[in-house]
Amino acid sequence: MPDKFDLDLESIQEARNLAVACREAQRVFASASQAEVDRICEAMTEAAYAEAESLARLANEETGYGVVAHKVIKNQFASRGVWNSIRNIPTVGMLRRDEANRIVEIAWPFGVIVALVPSTNPTSTVICKALGAVKARNGIVFSPHPAARKSSFQAARVMIEAGEKAGMPKGLIGSLSKLTLAGTQELMGHWAVSLILATGGPGMVKAAHSMGKPAIGVGPGNVPVYVDRSADIEYAARCIVNSKAFDCSVICSTEQSIVADKPIAGQLREALRSHGAYFLNPIEKAAVARALFLPDGSINARSVGKTPQAIAKMAGIEVPRWARILIADLDSVGKDEPLSREKLTTVLGFYVEDGWHSGCERCIQLLRFGGDGHSLGMHCRNEEVIMAFGLEKPAFRIIVNTWSSLGAVGATTALMPSFTLAPGGLGGTVVSDNITVTHLFNVKRLAYGTTEPPPEAFSLAPDVEAQPVMTVGSSLPPNGNLNVVNESELVEAVVRQVIAQWNKMS
């Protein structure tokens, strides 16, 4: 026997061990009271909030993505923000009693959840998903992105230590430390796993949906933001620049292209410049496009979550030190225009369209080119236009007059706080919500009888001689051919009668 196994074999065995341990712990935890569940979640929340800065620094150092101060905000939101949104949601025992319809609803956990974690939000995603899973009395095992293994594992460790100290069964939260594709696939397909939460690249999300298990996945967010002639232009510009610059655009709901209404396009340009937007000339635009995307159209991972100055250095150009984002003028959408794709970095496209109808069509083109079902932003004070966009756009989060990045995750809107934004059927998954605790448990229903079956339900067959119809509790028929004195004898008599009729027909 070898002293040391190959990494993929070690990863597979670790996945099996974690899944089984999680299942055993979850079976114990399934009997926890609501008070016990909430005490554990409260402890994990406060531990994660206290470590928000250290986790942010670790994520930034490990991946090179984004801004530490912004990652702190995301970690704080993923802990207290998410917990405050779900703390009063019942997840144990009876959820609701409908006296009028005589239905009782009862919570039932899924069991073991596998959660894929992206490198773009490696700590906030762990915090958010751990709270939702445990609040619903599930176990959860994380599979971090290899580029962010240390920071994701540390975030999980913070939640594990705080939870177990508060009474959580050992093994209820786990995380792969030996990361390979084989190990992640083994984990997703393991018999002990009941649900997969897939936040990551298209390949892993597709793999999650192919495992033959319930899966909730995300999709790419090629988010357009439409700025209407009725908008507060100064406010819109400030929102867009700040949102795009936030954590260097690694949140999937961040604006990717501006679609400006023609009458205000010039004014919007100047307002964007005043807030730190640098407009690229044609030569600079081509250089940036080459730096951001590989020849096959896939994003260059080295460009993700970078400042404008870092992008400029990669592209071999110079941009001002004051630049917070880079903007390129575009006039088409598709493979021939690389910058019309999703750009997980500080680069925006800029389109000009005359009127909201044309702006609407351009937004639809952008969504269909890699963002179907995800999110759309708009700045507008005309309610008719806002409603038209809401009715017609193929996006399930339409964010109005605020940052798209933080609005879609529920930080600057009243949407449910979450870092898992499902794109619905348009984007290839079963739901279109911000994924939260209510998606992580099933509901049993006790349904009492409220209506008697119609008389026709008691007939034996169309071609069988009609027999007297008797319901439970009724008196004997006049001919007395069913000689019964109680309900059990009635049932037996009916069964004998049915068998006799079948024998006649055979």
Q: How far apart are CA 165 and CA 146, in angstroms?
A: 29
Asked if 271 and 383 sit in the same domain, the reply is: yes
Residue 33: exposure state from Cβ atoms within 10 A (0-12, 13-18, ≥19)? exposed
Residue 380 a catalytic site member: no
Global pTM exceeds 0.85: yes
Asked if 200 and 231 sit in the same domain, the reply is: no
124-135 vs 149-165: helix crossing angle, rounded to 10: 30
- 419 located within any domain: no
- 115 located within any domain: yes
End-to-end CA distance of the chain: 67
Q: How far apart are CA 69 and CA 478, in angstroms?
A: 86
**Domain ranges, residue 142:** 8-218+437-446
Write down the pLDDT at residue 503.
Answer: 57
395 phi and psi, to 5 degrees?
-140, 140
Domain total in the chain = 3
Label each residue of 77-104 as H, E or C.
Answer: HHHHHHHHHHCCCCCCCEEEEECCCCEE
Last residue of a domain, one of 446, 467, 496: 446
Asked if 305 and 365 sit in the same domain, the reply is: yes
Asked if 62 and 186 sit in the same domain, the reply is: yes
Digit-by-digit pLDDT tens for the chain (506 residues) are 456 778 889 999 999 999 999 999 999 999 999 999 999 999 999 999 999 999 999 999 999 999 999 999 999 999 999 999 999 999 999 999 999 999 999 999 999 999 999 999 999 999 999 999 999 999 999 999 999 999 999 999 999 999 999 999 999 999 999 999 999 999 999 999 999 998 877 777 888 888 889 999 888 889 999 999 999 999 999 999 999 999 999 999 999 999 999 999 999 999 999 999 999 999 999 999 999 999 999 999 999 999 999 999 999 999 999 999 999 999 999 999 999 999 999 999 999 999 999 999 999 999 999 899 999 999 999 999 999 999 988 999 999 999 999 999 999 999 999 999 999 988 888 899 999 999 999 999 999 999 988 888 877 655 555 555 544 444 444 444 444 445 556 556 655 665 566 555 54
- Active-site entry in 22, 252, 360, 380: 252
* Beta carbons of 246 and 338 less than 8 angstroms apart: no
Write down the pLDDT at residue 13.
Answer: 96
Asked if 89 and 145 sit in the same domain, the reply is: yes
- 2 located within any domain: no
Asked if 184 and 250 sit in the same domain, the reply is: no
Give DSSP secondary structure letters for 180-196. Answer: -HHHHHHHHH-TT--EE
Q: How far apart are CA 214 and CA 56, in angstroms?
A: 31
Letter string b/e over residues 333-342, b meaning 16 or more CB atoms within 10 A of that residue's CB: beeeebbbbb
Write down the pLDDT at residue 489.
Answer: 62
Asked if 311 and 365 sit in the same domain, the reply is: yes
- 111 located within any domain: yes
Asked if 86 and 209 sit in the same domain, the reply is: yes
Asked if 164 and 260 sit in the same domain, the reply is: no
Asked if 291 and 401 sit in the same domain, the reply is: yes
- 427 located within any domain: no
Instruction: Report the CATH number that the domain containing residue 172 is assigned in CATH.
Output: 3.40.605.10
Q: How far apart are CA 259 and CA 351, in angstroms?
A: 5
Q: Which residue has the tokens 């406060």?
A: 46
Q: How far is CA 173 from the centre of its chain?
A: 19
- 491 located within any domain: yes
Asked if 227 and 213 sit in the same domain, the reply is: no
Last residue of a domain, one of 405, 423, 446: 446
* Beta carbons of 20 and 187 less than 8 angstroms apart: no
Nearest alpha-carbon partner for 244 in 233, 235, 232, 256: 256
Letter string b/e over residues 459-475, b meaning 16 or more CB atoms within 10 A of that residue's CB: eeeeeeeebeebeeeee
Helices marked H in 94-225: 124-135, 149-165, 181-189, 202-209
Cβ-defined contacts of 422-425 (< 8 Å, 24+)? 422/216, 422/217, 422/218, 422/219, 422/396, 423/218, 423/219, 423/372, 423/373, 423/374, 423/396, 424/373, 424/396, 425/373
Write down the pLDDT at residue 493.
Answer: 63
- 357 located within any domain: yes
- 458 located within any domain: yes
Asked if 127 and 37 sit in the same domain, the reply is: yes
